[in-house]
């Protein structure tokens, strides 16, 4: 799990140990590779919620709200309050729920072709 430097500081400060393999922060392309190969995504990042959807990965967002409400409505993303003492239990209980990634929330992926066709026909 890539770890924000501030989070690592607090883990060290409070001597918190975990069995999760922690990584230094990674760049965008490395993060995309990690998401692509992940079983699920657990994040507090707005951007990673959407990236998880594009890779058809179940996402658990540790926040009280999200700007990507369509992902919540589609069942691809689940909000979990950071005040919840049972975050791990909520995630484990929800792993059997399979989101329907067949829904085309953001279109069919052909916007660039449509734009190109429009530009060609108007030139």
What are the structural domain ranges in the chain? 38-121
Q: Which two tokens stand for residue 22?
A: 């922690």
Answering whether pTM is above 0.85, one says: no
Domain 38-121's class? alpha beta
**Closest among 5, 3, 70, 12 to 42, alpha carbons compared:** 3
pLDDT at site 13? 94
pLDDT at site 20? 86
Q: Which two tokens stand for residue 105?
A: 């929330």
* pLDDT higher than 80, residue 123: no
Greater confidence, 103 or 30? 30
Model confidence pLDDT, tens digit, residues 85-115: 888 888 998 888 888 888 888 888 888 999 9
List C-alpha distances in Å: 106 to 24, 50, 56, 81, 109.
32, 10, 13, 26, 8
């Amino acid at each position: 799990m890539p770890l924000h430097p501030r989070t690592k500081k607090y883990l060290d400060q409070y001597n918190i140990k975990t069995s999760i393999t922690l990584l230094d922060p990674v760049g965008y392309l490395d993060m995309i590779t990690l998401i692509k190969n992940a079983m699920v995504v657990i994040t507090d990042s707005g951007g990673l919620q959407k990236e998880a959807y594009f890779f058809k990965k179940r996402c658990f967002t540790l926040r009280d709200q999200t700007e990507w409400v369509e992902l919540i409505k589609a069942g691809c993303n689940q909000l979990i309050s950071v005040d919840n003492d049972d975050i791990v239990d909520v995630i484990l209980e929800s792993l059997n729920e399979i989101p329907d990634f067949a829904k085309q929330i953001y279109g069919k992926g052909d916007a660039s072709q449509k734009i190109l066709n429009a530009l060609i026909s108007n030139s």
